[in-house]
Amino acid sequence: MTIDWLACELHTHTIHSDATHTLSEMAEAARELEFDWIALTDHNTVSGLIGKETVVIEQGISILPGMEWTTFYGHMLTLGANVQQTADWRLIGADDIGKGLTDIHESGGIAGIAHPFRIGSPICTGCFWEFAIGKWQLLDYIEVWNGTSPNMKSYNRRAFEYWTELLNLGIRITALSGRDWHHSQVSGETTISVTYLGLGLDDRASEHDSGGTAEQRLLKAIRHGAASVTLGPLLTLSATEQLSRTETGQTYRLGDTAVIHSSNGNTLSITIEADFGVRKRQWTIVQQKLSLCLVGSKGIVAEWKIVAGSTIVEACLDLTDELWLRAELYGSMNGQEGLLAFTNCIYIEQAKTTVS
């Protein structure tokens, strides 16, 4: 099955809240940055979406409706058309976020924590997440990379580590990036992240993508974890059941759950692809040895040194007791050394009984 990876910017503001640009100006800048979709997530209002259809036609970019719940106890991004009608942040107290999330889901929307560890009040009011979370299953995603040059920010490193801890507890939650776009002036050292969301292109719908409007399919891709985050190259990960030396079974992709029948001697063959051809005019990675890692709940499973160019690596590895797998790419970009890209997870389950 082929996946169409759409370049998305999922956290933006306009003059309808505290930013300096209009939706049309931002959409034009986003199109120049070769994004396919932007989500408009103004603080506590949706009026910026009026005239959206005209902007979509004029600027040739798709726009997802959303809002940033800018509350006293945390900032939460909502995505989906009708959220404002049924969900009201002003009625949700520090212990009531479950109610707010239920309201958002009932409206057909999804929600994710924005910059969970950004410094809070009074320096940045409500920026640090302080809502008590009863049920993690109600949250659809965490914005683990916030702002420009996100891999250099200590609060994002903490969010990324926190995401890993949640995964290790068996909590399956998607990790995304968002520029928190308020203005378009950037310096030469600035890197801009992209969240790629995967939609199935096949007639046969994938595990998460069973049709609907483009907007609904994007929301489902986020909820499922069909997402890959990067400063440049697109990283993808797949796992194919290896039934015998020559025979393969099902292929699992980002967000899917792979079941290993190890009592049958079955294993998973892992493929990581780093595509350096995406949005090529927008970023540069100078020639160097990059580190491509397969990471699981027990740490690094495998590591490859690759040159800065499109690469595919494959391996059949011991995945005993792993709960999840993701790919990570490390190296230097614009003189800044760190994590350059990461995928969401393929979740792993060991089959309890032998399948005959």
Partner 1 sequence: MYKTLLDIRSTIIPADRHVHLVHRFALPQGISKLVITFAYSPKKLEDMTRINELVVSAVERYVEADSRMAAYGNPDYGLLHNLLTVSLDDPAGFRGAAHRPSPEQKIFLAESEATPGFLAGPLPSGLWELTISLHEIVTDTCQFHLQVQSEEERRAGV
Q: How far is the CB of 186 from partner 1 (least distance, A)?
A: 17
Residue 125 interacts with partner 1 (CB under 8 A): yes or no:
yes
Q: Which is nearer to partner 1, 86 or 291 (CB)?
A: 86
Specify the stretch interacting with partner 1 by CB under 8 A; choose among 47-55, 102-110, 262-270, 302-310: 47-55
When asked if residue 162 is in the footprint of partner 1 (CB under 8 A), the reply is no
Distances (CA, A) of 60 to 3, 37, 50, 216: 22, 10, 17, 20
CB of 193 to partner 1, least distance (A): 21
Q: Which is nearer to partner 1, 158 or 261 (CB)?
A: 158
The reply on whether position 187 binds partner 1 by CB under 8 A is no
CB-wise, 93 or 212, nearer to partner 1? 93
The reply on whether position 57 binds partner 1 by CB under 8 A is: no
Cβ-based neighbour number of residue 189 at 10 Å: 12
Strand partners, 333: 336
Cβ-based nearer residue to partner 1, 116 or 233 = 116
185 in contact with partner 1 (CB under 8 A): no
Return the residues of window 72-101 that contact partner 1 according to CB under 8 A. 72, 84-85, 88, 90
Least distance in angstroms from the C-beta of 21 to partner 1: 11
239-275: string of b/e by CB count within 10 Å (b at 16+)?
A: bbbbeeeeeebeebbbbbebbbbeeeebbbbbbbbbb
Decide: is 132 part of the binding site for partner 1 (CB under 8 A): no
Q: Minimum distance from CB of 70 to partner 1 (Å)?
A: 6
Q: Residue 16 is encoded by which pair of tokens?
A: 């309808």
Q: Which is nearer to partner 1, 72 or 330 (CB)?
A: 72
Q: What is the 3-state secondary structure (H, E, C) of 229-264?
A: EECCCEEEEEEEEECCCCCEEEEECCCCEEEECHHH
Please give the Cα distance from 273 to 271 (Å, whole number).
7
Site for partner 1 contains 54 (CB under 8 A): no
Q: Specify the stretch interacting with partner 1 by CB under 8 A; choose among 40-48, 270-278, 329-337, 344-352.
A: 40-48
Per-residue binder mask for partner 1 (CB under 8 A), 1-20, x = binder: -------------xxxxx--
Contact (Cβ atoms closer than 8 angstroms) between residue 254 and residue 199: no
Q: Which of 4, 51, 119, 284 binds partner 1 (CB under 8 A)?
A: 119
CB 270 within 8 A of CB 237: yes
Task: Tell me: does residue 115 bind partner 1 (CB under 8 A).
Answer: no
Is 261 a binding residue for partner 1 by CB under 8 A? The answer is no
**Footprint of partner 1 on this chain (CB under 8 A)?**
14-18, 42-48, 50, 70, 72, 84-85, 88, 90, 117, 119-123, 125-126, 128, 154, 158
